[in-house]
Structure 1
Amino acid sequence: MTSTTILRRAGIVAALAAAGALALAGCSGGGTPAAGAAKPTLSGKATTISVTFWGGDARVQKTQEAIAAFEKKYPNITVKPQYTDWNGYWDQLATATAGGDMPDVVQMDELYLASYGNRGALYDLNKLNVDMTHVAASARDTGKVNGAQYADPIGVAVYAIVANKDLFDKYGVALPDDKTWTWDDYAKVADELTQKSGGAIHGTDQIGGFDAGSAKYWARSDGGELFGKDDKVTLNPKSLAKMWQFELDLQKSGGMLSSSAITESFGAGISGNSLATNKVAMGVAYNTQLTALAKSSGQNLVLLQPPAPKGVHPNSYKPSMYWSVSAKTKHPAEAAAFVDYLLNDADAAKILLTERGVPANDKTRALIKDALAPTDQAAIAYQESVTPGKAPLVTPNGASTIETILQRYTQQVFAGQQKPLDAAKAFIAELQGEIDSAQ
């Protein structure tokens, strides 16, 4: 899944969350061995394993090519793929899991990792032969729940400011120094772009409130976190209120799109939003969105690091998706061999490229870099230039609707229906209530 999907899926998540939680309630602990037990080894016998994933035609084709290459390397192992689009994936997986028929290998998402991991549905990959030594700890840790490595991050992304250099040049505005700038500097640049264009464009689209990544970034900028231990929402309401107030002030000055235009931009998706249609010169995105945005805009787009306090590293790796292994698999060694192949094998890397995001594996990422489009190469270069902070805790069970809730409060703040701090407190209380209800 690209980070475009990360930003657009919240409405679907809301519809599926209840069904998924109910189905998962029937899960019990599976086949993960006790600590100290020997890791399962390949039997050498003819074995069939199943793998399930969501995605479109391109992902299906590339995954089937990777499966064929794996089966050539392991001729005694047959892999049977199951796939659907995002809309139906989680209903199908929850039903299969509740019935004790979860596929051996599962494409997993961060929003649901804790739900499946805490209910004993997933194997601890530390107890299998899956080599993660080439995945940075700050990326690898995004697949941990309560210390268990329930998931292997396939691809990762980091938060970025996308700047349209062509528009900067057209209106005579210098690109800022993204190593030293502040949010005040950002606002000045945005206002200057609007003014020098005579209102033909706005300086920036929204920079937060429509995705969980923005809440995490502003929380971490103030030294906090969105989630803490024991499934608690630890976001300081003042951090969220500060983000919203910054946007309100920038809308008032004209540097940012109006509330209605922001809503229209968000609803248009990656190919039709204000960055893609050159109505603004800046906006937030994940680095992996650069290629899609550049293709739609036809402009020279560059990635800048978001403003951050000196000495603070609020950015973090966002896993595009993971591979997990069912705790009830009858073939844990074979399932692990397939996951390890997808993560580490050079042939698999050359087939899959960035279809599931920029590889989290440092070695395979370097291997494929020269085969990628210039914008994909730029996305990788940006990612490697970012110093991420420690991995944030996985989204707790019950919080999968976070983006739906956040968007609603953002709309209320933009419409003047709630003050930023009041809305922030209400958002936190509602999200915590969702988590508590799911326990």
Structure 2
Amino acid sequence: MNTRSLRRTAIGAIAVLPLVLTACSGGGTGSASELSGEPVTLRVTWWGSDSRAELTNKAVAAFEKKYPKIKIKGQYKDWNGYWDALATTTAGKDSPDVVQMDELYLASYADRGALYDLGKAQKLLDTSAFDDASLATGQVDGTQYALPTGVGVSSVIVNTDLFEKYGVALPDDTKWTWNDYARIAKELTDKSGGRIHGAAGAPGFYAGDVKYWARQQGGELFDEEGNVSLKPEDLAGMWKYGLGLIASGASAQASTMVEDLTAGLTAGSFATGKTAMISAYNTQLTALQQATSAHLKPLRLPRLGDTEANFFKPSMYWAVSSQSKHPAEAAVFLDFMLNEPATAKLLKTDRGIPANKLMLAHLQQDLSGPDKAAADFMTTVPQGAPPVVTPNGGSGIEPALQRYAQEVYFKKTSPEAAAKAFVKELQSEIDAAK
């Protein structure tokens, strides 16, 4: 099981965020009920590639045509640079009006009063086409601070060509277990004569891994108070399972996993045909398909018991800064980006499969290939309740996980010792942010 991230971790931003945001206080407390009628310029910022910027700018042009008195000044950066810049401008009380937000940082910004309560903009921002589970992913302590642009679910993506080439049957993903996963991965390795590995790696590098694994044991990563509720023995059990995959040859070795972290999803061992299965979000199917000529198929994650451990993962959010002097206009911009059929057809799945059900219905008429497969797959996966949003101080969870996972998989630390140290470190960071 090789896990993944929708984005690289911004270690610099994680370090600076608590320091620069401590001066923030709640602003923008008034209700956004109507537009001013005066010409307004909104600053909008997001992270992403040049292609995302091109699509976003086309949507902006359509928005400005519909609302000629509202001009948009768009800015975008790569992931690391984005969070450094947002933290700095927010601390300087010069935050952009509209910001793209990630689950890792939502509570950090919300708890320090840096985000606007979107419940105050109900007259201008329609959320009726979002189900409760999707809306909950953008809430902190019951307040709607952000709206998800799209959602995804964890899956195992398989290279069906390699399964066929080496005579291995695809599993029934409504029934398979982690033991089945290990057996099938080893069978692929053995039947290929070691030319490939069945699995691209072992679990435990990303928060999504831990949340899913903990839920299967009846637990959660975080409790309702925002503290670490993960049992060290559950985390240790996940890493022990991974060590078994490596030892049997079912999984790629630890060195390959580290190389994959550096190479990225579309240049790693799965994309280059060296492994047959990878754990990834369904929304990453398109990128993987573009990176390989093989036939790919998403499967449900293996199960342990009857617990519905999977959940919607917001790909990203739109939020409004509490420092904005134009929250009404900002809310209208969000409404256009999230509720306009023409915008959905323009952006497609660039920011994830739309969390807005009406927009997804409009979009599905035009989807094809891996985009359609990813959207269709999401409707088949049973969902549990949305997990607690990463609490303030918990933004560094993935660098810490990756550090400890590598120590375990390179056999420098035992799973038990690493798990205890990880839980203690993460709780200490959360306590320090309170």
TM-score, length-normalised on structure 1?
0.94
Match of 1:20 among 17, 21, 26: 17
Match of 2:78 among 78, 82, 85: 85
**8 Å contact kept, 1:151–1:322:** yes
**8 Å contact kept, 1:8–1:269:** no
Tell me the equivalent position of 1:67.
60
How many aligned positions are there?
Answer: 430
Question: Aligned to 1:322, what secondary structure does the other structure show?
Answer: strand
Tell me the equivalent position of 2:162.
167
The 1:206/1:7 distance shift into structure 2, 3 A limit, reads farther
**8 Å contact kept, 1:51–1:82:** yes
Tell me the equivalent position of 2:286.
291
**1:114 has 2:107 as partner:** yes
**8 Å contact kept, 1:399–1:434:** yes
Question: What do the CA deviations read for 1:383-426 (whole angstroms, capped 9, x no partner)?
Answer: 11112211111111111111111011111111212221221111
The 1:18/1:263 distance shift into structure 2, 3 A limit, reads closer
**8 Å contact kept, 2:4–2:279:** no
The 1:99/1:262 distance shift into structure 2, 3 A limit, reads closer
**8 Å contact kept, 2:178–2:304:** no
Shift of 1:361: 1.0
Tell me the equivalent position of 2:205.
210
Tell me the equivalent position of 1:9.
8
Tell me the equivalent position of 1:259.
254
Within 2, Cα distance between the matches of 1:109 and 1:50? 18
Shift of 1:39: 4.7
**1:29 has 2:26 as partner:** yes
Tell me the equivalent position of 2:373.
378
**8 Å contact kept, 1:51–1:81:** yes
Shift of 1:185: 0.8
Within 2, Cα distance between the matches of 1:99 and 1:277? 45
Listed as ranges, the gaps of 5+ residues in structure 2 are none
Tell me the equivalent position of 1:243.
238
Within 2, Cα distance between the matches of 1:413 and 1:142? 31
Within 2, Cα distance between the matches of 1:103 and 1:337? 15
**1:349 has 2:348 as partner:** no
Question: What do the CA deviations read for 1:188-241 (whole angstroms, capped 9, x no partner)?
Answer: 111111111111111112241121110111011112111113321111112211
**8 Å contact kept, 1:207–1:214:** no
Task: Name the Cα RMSD after superposition.
Answer: 1.6
**8 Å contact kept, 1:209–1:215:** yes
Within 2, Cα distance between the matches of 1:94 and 1:265? 29
Matching of residues 275-424 of structure 1 within 5 Å: 275-424=270-419
**8 Å contact kept, 1:205–1:274:** yes
Question: Aligned to 2:27, what secondary structure does the other structure show?
Answer: coil
Within 1, Cα distance between the matches of 2:410 and 2:86? 38
Within 2, Cα distance between the matches of 1:295 and 1:349? 21
Residue identity matched to 2:100: Q
**8 Å contact kept, 1:49–1:104:** yes
Tell me the equivalent position of 2:269.
274
**8 Å contact kept, 2:160–2:296:** yes
Matching of residues 168-207 of structure 1 within 5 Å: 168-207=163-202
The 1:150/1:307 distance shift into structure 2, 3 A limit, reads same
Tell me the equivalent position of 1:97.
90
Match of 2:146 among 128, 137, 151: 151
Residue identity matched to 2:69: N
Question: Aligned to 1:200, what secondary structure does the other structure show?
Answer: coil
Question: Aligned to 1:49, what secondary structure does the other structure show?
Answer: strand
The 1:8/1:333 distance shift into structure 2, 3 A limit, reads closer
Question: Aligned to 1:261, what secondary structure does the other structure show?
Answer: helix
Within 2, Cα distance between the matches of 1:405 and 1:305? 27
Within 2, Cα distance between the matches of 1:89 and 1:296? 26
The 1:96/1:265 distance shift into structure 2, 3 A limit, reads closer
Question: What do the CA deviations read for 1:91-149 (whole angstroms, capped 9, x no partner)?
Answer: 22122212222121111111111111011111111111321221222121111111110
Within 2, Cα distance between the matches of 1:339 and 1:211? 29
**8 Å contact kept, 1:207–1:284:** no
**8 Å contact kept, 1:323–1:339:** yes
Question: Aligned to 1:107, what secondary structure does the other structure show?
Answer: strand
**8 Å contact kept, 2:197–2:275:** yes
TM-score, length-normalised on structure 2?
0.95
Within 1, Cα distance between the matches of 2:421 and 2:80? 29
Tell me the equivalent position of 2:221.
226
Q: Give percent identity, aligned residues only.
A: 53
Within 2, Cα distance between the matches of 1:261 and 1:53? 32
Question: Aligned to 1:232, what secondary structure does the other structure show?
Answer: coil
Residue identity matched to 1:291: T
Shift of 1:244: 0.9
Residue identity matched to 1:223: G
Within 2, Cα distance between the matches of 1:403 and 1:410? 10
Within 2, Cα distance between the matches of 1:266 and 1:370? 35
Shift of 1:7: 5.0
Question: Aligned to 1:111, what secondary structure does the other structure show?
Answer: helix
Question: What do the CA deviations read for 1:294-344 (whole angstroms, capped 9, x no partner)?
Answer: 222211110010112343111111111111111122221111010011010
Within 1, Cα distance between the matches of 2:134 and 2:91? 30
Shift of 1:8: 5.0
Residue identity matched to 1:117: A
